Amino acid sequence: QPPKRKGTSKKSAKANVQTLINGRTKEETTKEQIEEYIAHLQEQLDREMDERNYFQLERDQVHTLGQITAKKLEEVLAEEKNLEKGLEEDEEHHQVEIKVYKQKMKHLLCEHQSTISELKEEALVSKEKLQKELDQLELEFHKKIKAGMVEIQELNNDLFERKRLLVFNAHKHFNTKINSIFDIICAETAAKYEEHLKLFQEEMENTEASLVMNYELERDTHMVAFQEEMSEVFNSTQEVTMLREQNRDIISEIQFHFLHFSSQQSIKTPETKTVDDLKLENETLEQKLKKLQLEKEQLYNSVMPTIEGTREKVGLRSTLLRRKLQDLTDSLEKSQAQLFTVLSVPNMDHTVLSEIANKSEVMFSCALSFKTQFCYLFYKRRTEKNVLFVGRFRQKKICHQEHCIQKE
């Protein structure tokens, strides 16, 4: 930006000669004021020179920009003229090509129409010939079919009589064989199922007896442990009662000595010692009680989630096994009903009977395995209940001991 002009006095030269500064003449002004005025004029002259130089530079820049834009405009106009000439030449060439292609299309259409007319004439001639040949072939074919049908009818009558005799004889022989095989299979399946039932009953009795024996042994061991713990609790309660009686005797002695404090000053020191000892014992017992409470909470927090998790797992397994048992029993009943219905049918294939017998044996073995698993889970759940009972009893014992200590 050019330097800004300050406010200057716009007076004529004559006025400057007469009044230099603020209406004063040359005679009235001093040397210092004249020097200041000269300096002020010099500054104004410098500013005017700077502005003149700045505007000259701007004028030169504008002039150069104008020349550059004029040259670019001339170049653009020349390019535009060249492009227009090229477009006109391309259009002329394109029009010539279009005319050539149109002439070629007309020639191709004429050839196409001539070929189509020739092909139509040839197709009509060939179609008439084929139609005549087909009519002749159809007549011959119908004649041959009629003769063949007569021969087939005669042969069918002979074959029907022969087949009827053969089927009647084979049916008699097959019925006798099936009846004998059916009797043998019924006897074998009855013997197999009786043996399986006996074995299953023996296994169930043995498993029940072993489970009962194990349960009784565990119950006896738990009862022995329970009696031992009860005896320990009883001994601890006796000790607590003894300590209470001792504390009561000590308190009565302290009260007696306190009443006769004025007469028996010599007994004062041992009494104070006993009171201090009791305070220390009380503090130690409180600390032990806090430790026991913390241990009880830790045990309870560590045991209960595992117990609940095992309960949920065992419950889910037992429900799943019960459902599977129910499904197996239903399928066994269905298979037995199907087997009885099959056995009641006289004309039955030997392979079908063997397949049904094998399926029933497989279902029976699956039912046995699921029943044993169910019994094992039932026994496991009972043992877990016993463990829970013992844990709760121990917690009650700890709570009872804490209560006794608090009373003391």
Per-residue pLDDT 10s for the chain (408 aa) are: 444 444 444 444 444 444 556 566 767 777 888 888 889 889 999 999 999 999 999 999 999 999 999 999 999 999 999 999 989 888 888 899 898 988 988 888 998 888 888 888 888 888 888 888 888 888 888 888 888 888 888 887 888 888 778 877 877 787 788 777 777 877 777 777 678 767 777 877 787 777 778 767 877 777 777 677 767 766 766 776 677 677 677 777 766 766 766 555 444 444 444 667 777 777 777 777 777 777 767 766 766 666 666 667 656 766 776 777 677 767 766 766 666 565 555 554 555 555 655 665 565 555 556 555 555 555 555 555 555 555 555 565 556 555 555 555
Residues 6+ apart with CB under 8 A from 372: 203, 207
Beta bridge partners of 347: none
User: Quick check: pTM over 0.75?
Assistant: no
Closest CA to 353 of 190, 184, 185, 193: 185
CB 395 within 8 A of CB 296: yes
Q: Is 12 left (phi over 0), alpha (psi -120 to 50) or beta?
A: beta
For residue 271, how many C-alpha atoms fall within 13 Å in the half-sphere facing its CB? Answer: 17
- DSSP category for residue 24: B
Six token digits for residue 397: 């014992």
Residues 312 and 317: their CA atoms lie apart, in Å, by 9
Please report, for the chain, the start and end positions of each structural domain, with discontinuous segments joined by +: 13-90, 181-240+282-407
**In the structure encoding, which two tokens stand for residue 62, read together?**
């504008």
Instruction: Provide the phi-psi class of 7: left if phi over 0, else alpha when psi is between -120 and 50, else beta.
Output: beta
What one-character DSSP code corresponds to residue 4? P
CA 99 to chain centre: 71
> Measured between alpha carbons, how far is 154 from 56 in angstroms, rounded to an integer?
133
> Which one, of 2, 4, 32, lies nearest residue 20 by Cα?
32
- Other beta carbons within 10 angstroms of residue 93's beta carbon come to 10
Question: How much is the pLDDT for 15?
Answer: 43
DSSP state of 153: H
Residue found by looking up tokens 């738990």 in the block = 222
Q: Return d(Cα 28, Cα 34) in angstroms, integer.
A: 10
Please count the residues of the chain. 408
Q: Would you state the pLDDT for residue 391?
A: 58
22: left (phi over 0), alpha (psi -120 to 50) or beta: left
* CA pair distance 17, 15, nearest whole angstrom: 5
- Residue 117 in 3-state DSSP? helix
C-alpha distances in angstroms, 396 versus 50, 237, 307, 308, 350? Answer: 109, 14, 18, 19, 70
CA dihedral 53, 58, 62, 67 (to 10 degrees): 40
Tokens 């009235």 label which residue?
A: 28
